[in-house]
Every structure is written in C-alpha cells, then in structure tokens.
Amino acid sequence: MEGELISARQASDEAARKVWLDYIGKLNDRHRQSIGSSGATSWVLFGALVAILLSTIPRLTSFLKNPANLSSALVCFAFEFDVAIMLLAAYSYLLYFHLGGMATRTVPDRSRRVQPIIHVGVMMMQLFLIFSHFLAAKSAPVGPKSLRWGLAGVGLFWAVNLYMLVRKDTHKFRQSRQLGIPIPWFQGAGIDPQLGAPIGFGICASLTGLFLAGLIWYISLQMRAGEDWLAPLDASCSVLVFLVILVALAYRGFKVTLADSYEVLERSILLENLSPSDIRAKFIAQFIGSSAAEWLKDQIASLKEADDALLRVHAEIHRALDELEARGDRASREFKAALVKALSTLGMGVHQHAQVLKRHHFLTMEFSKALAGEPLSPPLTIVMSEWKAQLGQMVATARSATELRVKLIAISRSISAKK
C-alpha cells in the first residue's frame, strides 16, 4: 500500500514537472517571438539615432557661429526636459489612479541585478538636470532676471530631490551593511491610489503647464529681441529625442536577457530533477517576485525560528538549574560553572534574537514604503494578523529572557553574599 502511494506521488510530481516545463517553454517561445517582432522596432530606433546625427553634424558649424544659439538651446532643453519628465509623471499618476492600486512584490532575481543600475541612472539624470538648469540660468542670452531665477529655482528643486534620494539610499546601504543582509528592493507604490494619485497628477499636470508656458515665453522673448529661435529649439528637441531613443534601446537590451533566464530554469528542472514546489519557488523568485502575503509568511517563519531557538535556550537553562538545585549544593564549583555557562548561553541567545528583530524591523520599514497601493485582500489580512501575533510572541519571549537573566544574576549574588 505504501509503495503504491509513493508511486502515485511520483507520478503526480512527474506530471506537474511536465506542466511546468511546457509552461516555461511556451513563455520562452513567446518571449523570443516578441524579441523577433520588436527587433524591427529597435532597428527603426537605431536608424532614427543615425538620422539625427547625420542631420545635426553638417549644421553644427553654422549653429555654433552664433554664440547665443548654444545658450538659447540649453534654456530650451531645460524647459523641454522638465515638460517631458512632468508629463510622464502625470501620466503615471493617472494610470495608477485608473488601476486602483498596485500589488506589492519583491523584485525578482532577474531584475535585482539591474535595479542598482536603474537607480544610479535616475540619480545621474537628476544631476544632469541640476547642472543644465543652473548653466541655463547663468548663460541665458535674453530675458529678464525672473527667467534666470526661475531656471535656478527649478535646478534647486532637482537638487533637493537628489539630496533626499541620496540621503535615503545612504541610510539604507548603511543599515544593510550593519545588519549583514542584502539591500531590499520592492515593487509597489508608496502612495494611496484614491487620494495621493489625484493630488500627484494635479501637481505634475500644473508643473507641466508651467514649464511649457516658460518655454513659450522664452521663445517669444527671443522673437522680440530679433534672435534666431528656430535653430536653438530644433537643436534642443533633437538632443531630447536622441536621449529618449537611447533610453528605449537600453530598456530593450535589458529585456533580451529574460530569454536566457527561462533557459537556465529549464536546464535546472531537467538536470537537478527539481520537485514541483522547488520549481514554483524558483519561478516566483526569478520572474515575478513574492507577493506581499508570501513575503510576510517568509518573515513570520524566520521570526518563529529565532523565537523557538531562544525558547529552547530557556528550556535548557531551566532544566540544568533544576537538576543542580535538586542536589542542594549551590556553593559547589559545578553549580557556579553551570551558572556562568547559563548566563553566557542566554546572552548569546538574546543577542541573536535581538539581531533577527533588528533585521526584520529594517526590512518591514522598507516593505511598508511600497505597501500603500496594495489592495487589502483576505489572505493579506490573515497573514498580517499572524505577523502581529508572532511579534507579540517574540516580545513575550524577550521579556521572559529578561526575567530569567534577573533570576540568574540574583542566584549569583546570593552565592557571593554567602561567601
């Protein structure tokens, strides 16, 4: 009977593995077809880059003959970049509001390696914006002082944004190094879709209109001053389009690596004979990331493991003390050695328990920043209740550890007083 159950389980696992292999194979084929169909788009984008260069280089000499052209192009580019960034942000807020939220997940392994690169890229973009605005404010050939102060003010706005981002990331990096854990990355939104998204959309849409009005105002100032406004505007637009195409090509390049990840997982399934549960765990970790409920379940498991370890230390110390107390000789060398060992063991257990709590606090603080857009579902509600209960259990265990330590110290002092 037992052999039949084992055979049935193996047959079920084999069928599940075949389903996983077929599914991953279809995903791989679909992704490769997508790459093939989008390859033409990449070549079109690359051709657009070449066309921009070929049309710009011959005109570069005549453009630079007028020193004001470069300064005017820089001012136009600063306004255009602001309009593009704020327009993209406004569209993102509107889309987020339309979706009604965003599920919070851990960043999958295949994207985790790219995440720091994207983060550094965002910082470099903001640094570029800062310098371009301050340089435009300094070199604007026409316009009143309010134009220069406005450009400098926008540059200061981007500088404050960069400072806050660097400060937050520095704190995160220090904490992760001190606690000995990788930097946590989560996918999600830190704002409420019903309230924060409309406010964000309103602010970004207003700023888009403001920057666009600033660009039109500057062009009108050039026209009144009799300056050439078309050449600087054309140059700034060409540079902006060039940068956008570069970013699009880089993004497509990152997407190509996804097919290799599918093939690696297929090889692992075949060569390592992975079970269906292992395949599911690898697929989630590598491609979609754990959901909020799954991540909290993993955290509860790690907290329970640390709590059980400290409870075992409690039990061992109590058992050792009871055995020695039963002998009735507290002044013996064996009792004193056991007391010292108990204090040392308890101290190590409490330290490990506290370290787990510190790491968990750091991770949950980062996790909570991406949780605002997560729709509250019954599974997440249940897991959060279990998580709170586990934290309460850990507090109770830490309290009992403190009481045990006080008891051990009191016994030690009583022995010293008898001397």
The amino acid occupying position 54 is: L
Q: How far apart are CA 169 and CA 120, in angstroms?
A: 11
**Whether residue 220 has pLDDT greater than 70:** yes
**pLDDT at position 257:** 60
Nearest one of 387, 381, 369 to 303, comparing CA atoms: 387
Nearest one of 262, 256, 260 to 22, comparing CA atoms: 262
pLDDT band at 36 (very low <50, low <70, confident <90, very high): low
pLDDT greater at residue 390 or residue 292: 390
Helix, strand or coil, per DSSP, at residue 237: helix
**pLDDT at position 39:** 59
**pLDDT at position 37:** 61
Mean pLDDT, rounded, of the chain: 82
Calculate what percentage of the chain has a pLDDT beyond 90.
Answer: 16
Q: Which of 75-79, 237-241, 251-255 has the lowest mean pLDDT?
A: 251-255
pLDDT band at 175 (very low <50, low <70, confident <90, very high): confident
**pLDDT at position 302:** 92
**CATH number of the 291-418 domain:** 1.10.132
pLDDT greater at residue 165 or residue 53: 165
pLDDT band at 5 (very low <50, low <70, confident <90, very high): low
**pLDDT at position 411:** 76
**Whether residue 304 has pLDDT greater than 90:** yes
- Contact at 8 Å (CB) between 311 and 319? no
Most confident of the ranges 119-128, 159-168, 242-251, 282-291: 159-168
Long-range contacts for 236-243 (Cβ within 8 Å, ≥24 apart)?
Answer: 236/73, 236/74, 236/76, 236/77, 236/80, 237/76, 237/80, 238/52, 238/55, 238/56, 239/73, 239/77, 240/77, 240/80, 240/81, 240/84, 241/48, 241/52, 242/49, 242/52, 242/53
Q: DSSP code of 187? A: E
Number of neighbouring beta carbons within 10 Å of residue 171: 10
**Whether residue 331 has pLDDT greater than 60:** no
DSSP letters spanning 265-312: HHHHHHHTT--HHHHHHHHIIIII--BHHHHHHHHHHHHHHHHHHHHH
pLDDT band at 102 (very low <50, low <70, confident <90, very high): confident
**Whether residue 373 has pLDDT greater than 70:** no
**Whether residue 330 has pLDDT greater than 80:** no
**pLDDT at position 393:** 92
Nearest one of 90, 77, 107, 117 to 251, comparing CA atoms: 117
**Whether residue 8 has pLDDT greater than 70:** no
pLDDT band at 303 (very low <50, low <70, confident <90, very high): very high
Q: Give the model confidence (pLDDT) of 58-82 as tens digits.
A: 777 777 777 788 888 888 899 999 9
**Whether residue 259 has pLDDT greater than 60:** no
**Whether residue 391 has pLDDT greater than 80:** yes
**pLDDT at position 38:** 58
**pLDDT at position 244:** 86
Distances (CA, A) of 157 to 134, 212, 214, 293, 345: 11, 17, 16, 37, 54
Q: What is the dihedral of CA 335, 337, 342, 344, to 10 degrees?
A: 160
